[in-house]
Chains A and B, each alone.
Chain A
Amino acid sequence: MILIVGGMGSGKRAFACTRLGLGPEDLSNGCVDERPAVEHAEQLVHTLSPEEAARVLSGKRAVLMDEVGCGVVPLDAGERAWREDAGRLGCLLAEHAEAVVRMVCGLPQVIKGVL
Chain B
Amino acid sequence: MQALVIGGAASGKSAFAEELCTARGGTVLYVATMEAAGTEAARRIARHRELRRGKGFRLLECSRDLARAVVPSTDVVLVEDVGNLLANELWSPDSAGVACGGTLAEDRVVEAVLDGIDVVAAAAQDCVVVTNSIASDGVSYAPETVSYQRAIARVNARLARRADAVVEVVVGLPVWMRGNEEMWRERGR
- The one of B40, B145, B172 in contact with A72, judged by C-beta atoms closer than 8 angstroms, is B145
Cβ–Cβ contact B173 & A111, under 8 A: yes
Cβ–Cβ contact B171 & A100, under 8 A: yes
> Is A69 interfacial (CB-CB < 8 Å)?
yes
Q: Please, how many residues of chain A have a CB less than 8 angstroms from a CB on the other chain?
A: 29
Cβ–Cβ contact A73 & B172, under 8 A: no
A71-B134, A84-B9, A102-B175 given; A5·B139 CB < 8 A: no
Cβ–Cβ contact A109 & B175, under 8 A: yes
List the A residue with the shortest CB-CB distance to B141: A72
> Is B170 interfacial (CB-CB < 8 Å)?
yes
- Residues in chain B near residue A5, CB distance under 8 A: 170-171
User: Could you tell me the distance in whole angstroms from the C-beta of A7 to the nearest C-beta in chain B?
Assistant: 6
- The answer for the CA separation of A73 and B34 in the assembled complex, in Å, is 14
- The answer for the CA separation of A3 and B137 in the assembled complex, in Å, is 21
List the B residue with the shortest CB-CB distance to A7: B136
- Residues in chain A near residue B148, CB distance under 8 A: 72
- Residues in chain B near residue A61, CB distance under 8 A: none
A contacts, CB < 8 Å to B: 3, 5, 7-8, 67-73, 77, 80, 83-88, 90-91, 93-95, 100, 102, 109, 111-112
- The answer for the CA separation of A90 and B133 in the assembled complex, in Å, is 16
- Residues in chain B near residue A91, CB distance under 8 A: 10-12, 171-172
B contacts, CB < 8 Å to A: 7-12, 40, 133-139, 141, 145, 148-149, 170-173, 175
List the A residue with the shortest CB-CB distance to B40: A77
- Residues in chain A near residue B138, CB distance under 8 A: 8, 71
Interface core residue of B7, B11, B145 (most chain A CB under 10 Å): B11
A91-B172, A93-B171, A111-B175 given; A70·B10 CB < 8 A: no
- The answer for the CA separation of A112 and B171 in the assembled complex, in Å, is 10
- Residues in chain B near residue A84, CB distance under 8 A: 9-10
Cβ–Cβ contact A83 & B9, under 8 A: yes
User: Could you tell me the distance in whole angstroms from the C-beta of A87 to the nearest C-beta in chain B?
Assistant: 2
- The answer for the CA separation of A67 and B173 in the assembled complex, in Å, is 13
- Residues in chain B near residue A95, CB distance under 8 A: 172
- Residues in chain A near residue B133, CB distance under 8 A: 69-70
List the A residue with the shortest CB-CB distance to B10: A87
- Residues in chain A near residue B136, CB distance under 8 A: 7, 70-71
A72-B145, A94-B171 given; A88·B10 CB < 8 A: yes
In the A-B complex, list the 5 residue pairs whose CB atoms are closest, starting with the nearest: A87-B10, A71-B137, A69-B8, A69-B9, A91-B172
User: Could you tell me the distance in whole angstroms from the C-beta of A105 to the nearest C-beta in chain B?
Assistant: 13
Cβ–Cβ contact B170 & A111, under 8 A: yes
- The answer for the CA separation of A80 and B43 in the assembled complex, in Å, is 13
Cβ–Cβ contact B139 & A72, under 8 A: yes
- Residues in chain A near residue B137, CB distance under 8 A: 68, 70-72
- The answer for the CA separation of A77 and B134 in the assembled complex, in Å, is 17
